[in-house]
Amino acid sequence: MSAAPILCERLRSPPLVAEQFTPTTWSSAADKARIGNAILRFLAQGMPAEKFNKALYGRVSQMWSHIAHFNSLGFRSAWFASAKTRHAFLKHMVDYPCWGDPAFTWSDVEREIGQRVRENLLVEAWAKQARDEEEAHERAMLEMLMKKHGVAAAVPVVNRPAMQLGLF
Instruction: Please give the distance of CA 110 from its chain centroid, rounded to a whole number.
Output: 15
Domain boundaries, the chain: 14-127
Q: What is the pLDDT of residues 36-74, one digit of tens each?
A: 999 999 999 999 999 999 999 999 999 999 988 889 999
Q: What is the pLDDT of residues 83-96, one digit of tens each?
A: 999 999 999 999 99
CA distances (Å), origin 57, targets 2, 41, 166: 23, 14, 75
Give the list of residues 6+ apart from residue 109 with CB closer than 8 angstroms, or none: 16, 21, 32, 35, 36, 39, 63
Give the list of residues 6+ apart from residue 145 with CB closer than 8 angstroms, or none: 151
Does pLDDT of 33 surpass 60? Answer: yes
Q: How far, in Å, CA of 70 to CA of 73, rounded?
A: 8
- What band does 2 get if pLDDT is binned at 50, 70 and 90? low
156 secondary structure, DSSP code:
P
Q: What is the pTM of this model?
A: 0.86
User: Which pLDDT score is estimated for 155?
Assistant: 77
